[in-house]
Amino acid sequence: MGMALAFGSASINAAQQPDAPAPQPLAVAQNSHPQATSTPASGAPLRISLQDALALARKNEPTYRSLVTDASIAREDRVQARDALLPTANFVTSDLYTQPNNSIYRVRYIANNAPHEYVSQGNVHEQLDLASFAAYRRTAALAAAAKAQAEIASRGLVVTVMQAYFGVAAAEQKVAIAKRTADEGDRFLQLTKDLETGGEVAHSDVIKAELQSEDRHRQFSEAQLARLNARLDLSVLLFPDANDNFELADDLHTNIPLPPRGEFEAQAAHENPEIRAALAAVQAANQDLTAARAGYFPTIGLDYWYGIDAERYATYTPATTPETGRIPNLGTAAMASLTLPLWNWGATQSRVRQAELRREQTKVELSYAQRKLLAEMRSLYSEAETALNELAGLQRSAQLAADSLRLTTLRYKDGEATVLEVVDAQTTYAMANANYQDGAVRYRVALANLQTLTGVLTTP
């Protein structure tokens, strides 16, 4: 759910001030050109900002691309349904041969007009029926629903990218912390050896310090492995070639304010894509019902022909007598038809009942989406608020753990603390710093989850 922030209590208080910088719309991020696509110097790591990562993920993440493609296909379905309402024009050329009979009945089959009949004409056709208009409106609603689903996927992709992006940043920090604790364990081991040589501590302290040092080195190796896996996860998400030679440009601990609750709720309630998708589904179901009821109404057909339908494939037939002159073969014809439905064994009634059932289901789903939005608004904002409130405490705990480790080590050196106290201080230091990094990622992801409702990406 979110984004990073600076982690002092003063910075957190500043994040809640009304004059904090306004969040940037997600559309800005979508239209920006990723700097990461530029070719870096040979061997130099690719520097990737969060906006770069989002742009690359939109380009290469297959699930998101699939939904964007579905939206484009639905838009073309709408174009095709619109075009089906307009007249069509065709040109047909054919030669019909019919077996001749005798001089009285020129052809044996009366369907044709002559033994040799040539047809070459253009046809303009238009069909008017209620089902075609309902089909167009239905495809328009489905296109709107597909567009909303693509927007939902885009917002969800932000959460995935930010979780992976700042997961890498946290893993880098944890490696650095593990390295410091491993070095501290080595220094403490050497200290116990020096004190044992001077007869100030028992050999058991050296054994305990050595065990602790080995454990810290194992934790350092595990942190390196976790960092590698986090980088690979982000690489697979962003790059078509799983490039691992990159570095992050955004700081995990940048101060990012939490938007005021009233502003967040207003943005979440306005143009929420899940609500728009549910509304579009209801509209499509209404048009399905209209199309089903169209089976009760007549259909009108209009045709217009222009061309040749004659015994000769020519614009004129030669004159049989000087008086008649040549006869033109080019001509026109028009036809209007009206088709009335009479009986189909109740199929139309069945289709109407089906459409009514689907419409009722979409209304239930719309109501559920509205209730779910209200619940998510409260839950996600509370999650972000809790993560923000805990962040200052986690930072303070990390600072106190560092001071405690330093002071406990000095006390041990002066003979005022036991080896167990030093080991406990080292463990506390490692856990407090790891929790601090996890808390920062939690707040970033919390803000990203808020974006799934508002469509506004909070940035520095």
The DSSP element (H or E) to which 347 belongs, if any, is: helix 347-413
Which of 160, 161, 203, 211 shows the shortest CA–CA distance to 185?
Answer: 211
Dihedrals phi, psi of 342, to nearest 5 degrees: -115, -50
Strand-strand pairing, 246-248 and 46-48: parallel
Q: Give the per-residue pLDDT at 417.
A: 87
Q: Give the per-residue pLDDT at 30.
A: 36
Dihedrals phi, psi of 59, to nearest 5 degrees: -85, -35
348 pLDDT above the threshold of 80 = yes
376 pLDDT above the threshold of 70 = yes
pLDDT band at 145 (very low <50, low <70, confident <90, very high): very high
Q: Which residue has the tokens 């036991």?
A: 418
Cβ neighbours, 10 Å, residue 157: 21
Cβ neighbours, 10 Å, residue 17: 8
Q: Give the per-residue pLDDT at 42.
A: 55
Across residues 96-109, what is the average pLDDT?
A: 70
CATH class belonging to 9-457? mainly alpha
In whole angstroms, give the CA distance from residue 201 to residue 11. 45
Cβ-contact 317, 310 below 8 angstroms: yes
Q: Which residue has the tokens 């459409």?
A: 355
27 pLDDT above the threshold of 50 = no
Q: Which residue has the higher pLDDT, 108 or 41?
A: 108
pTM: 0.73
In whole angstroms, give the CA distance from residue 13 to residue 39. 41
Q: What b/e sequence results for 279-290 when a residue is b if at least 16 CB atoms lie within 10 Å of its CB, and e otherwise?
A: bbbbbbbbbbbb
Report the chain's mean pLDDT, rounded to a whole number.
Answer: 84
Q: Give the per-residue pLDDT at 315.
A: 86
Domain ranges of the chain: 9-457
Cβ-contact 157, 60 below 8 angstroms: no
Please tell me what DSSP assigns to residue 36. Answer: G
32 pLDDT above the threshold of 80 = no
pLDDT in tens, 113-137: 777 788 898 999 998 888 889 999 9
Q: Give the per-residue pLDDT at 304.
A: 94
pLDDT in tens, 426-450: 999 999 999 999 999 999 999 889 8
Q: Which residue has the higher pLDDT, 41 or 296?
A: 296
Q: Give the per-residue pLDDT at 359.
A: 94
